[in-house]
Amino acid sequence: MGKTCDVCGKEIGLFGRFRYADGYICKTCYAKASRQFTETIRSKSLAEIKVLCAVKRDEASFENFKVTGKIGNYLLVDEKHGRICIPCNRMISQQVSEPRFYDIATIKACRIAYQPYMELTELEQLVKEQRSEQTIHYLKVIITLEDGREDAITLVNKPLRIKSYAFRQSFQFAERIQQEMDRLLNNRQKDNAEQDEGEEEYAAV
């Protein structure tokens, strides 16, 4: 069996594949990712390619999102517009789906979830020691929205030993995602506080 497109899974031949930073995509996905052959994609990551190739049900989300930061293929950040994007990770979900966009202002909290449960500090220590035979069944970063809804960034969806390289790498990504989300939420709260102070000063004049 030949190579397949990293986005849609279509089989691609030697002359029908297009190179980007992490691999190859087909001509159809290349047309989307390159904005109808007007931009180069060689330096773009898989996460960025997936966003560009997404079905454009939300045209504004797709067109206005500008990547200013990213964590692996799990999280894209647009600080210019105050938004994040959770791309479809086909290696985990085993299917192609649309990326999800959220305004940072609509996000309430972020936490790391896993089973079996233990204190996060305990899990961090076991990961650091690299000796534990204990198995973690799943690892996710849960994003809670202001309206009570939740979304999950799945990093591990099958049992892995804590000492394994695959789990340790996934756990590092989970920590980086939480740290980045905490930074974005703290910056939002700081901006809101400064805005409130400015409005109070204006009202007092």
pLDDT higher at 32 or 84: 84
pLDDT of residue 197: 60
Query: In the prediction, which pLDDT does 67 show?
Result: 87
Q: Does residue 60 carry a pLDDT above 60? A: no
- The verdict on 116 and 153 lying in the same domain is yes
Same domain, residue pair 103 and 41: no
pLDDT: which is higher, 161 or 200:
161
Spatial neighbors of 62 by CB under 8 A, at least 6 apart, are 51, 52, 54, 56
Please give the pLDDT value at position 96: 58
Query: Is the same domain home to 5 and 49?
Result: yes
Residues near 139 by beta carbon (within 8 Å), at least 6 away in sequence:
112, 113, 114, 154, 155, 156, 167, 170, 171, 174
Domain interval for residue 183: 54-204
Note whether 25 and 63 are same-domain residues.
no
And the tokens for 74?
């799990």
How many domains would you assign to the chain?
2
16 and 73 inside one domain:
no
Alpha helices by DSSP H, listed for the chain, are 27-33, 46-52, 59-64, 90-93, 120-129, 165-204
- Cα–Cα distance, 106 to 102 (Å, whole number): 7
Among the listed ranges 53-62, 93-102, 118-127, 155-164, which one has the minimum average pLDDT value? 53-62
Question: Whole-model pTM above 0.75?
Answer: no
Residues 38-54 have a mean pLDDT of 83
- The pLDDT > 90 percentage for the chain reads 53
The pLDDT of residue 57: 45
Q: Are 106 and 141 in the same domain?
A: yes
What's 4's DSSP letter? B
* pLDDT score for 50: 83
Query: What is the percent of the chain with per-residue pLDDT over 70, rounded to a whole number?
Result: 83
Instruction: Please give the pLDDT value at position 195.
Output: 62
Give the pLDDT of residue 97: 66
Same domain, residue pair 94 and 157: yes
Average pLDDT of the chain to the nearest whole number:
86
Whether the pLDDT of residue 38 is over 90: the answer is no
Residue 80 has φ and ψ, to the nearest 5°, of -60, -40
- Is the pLDDT reported for residue 201 higher than 60? no
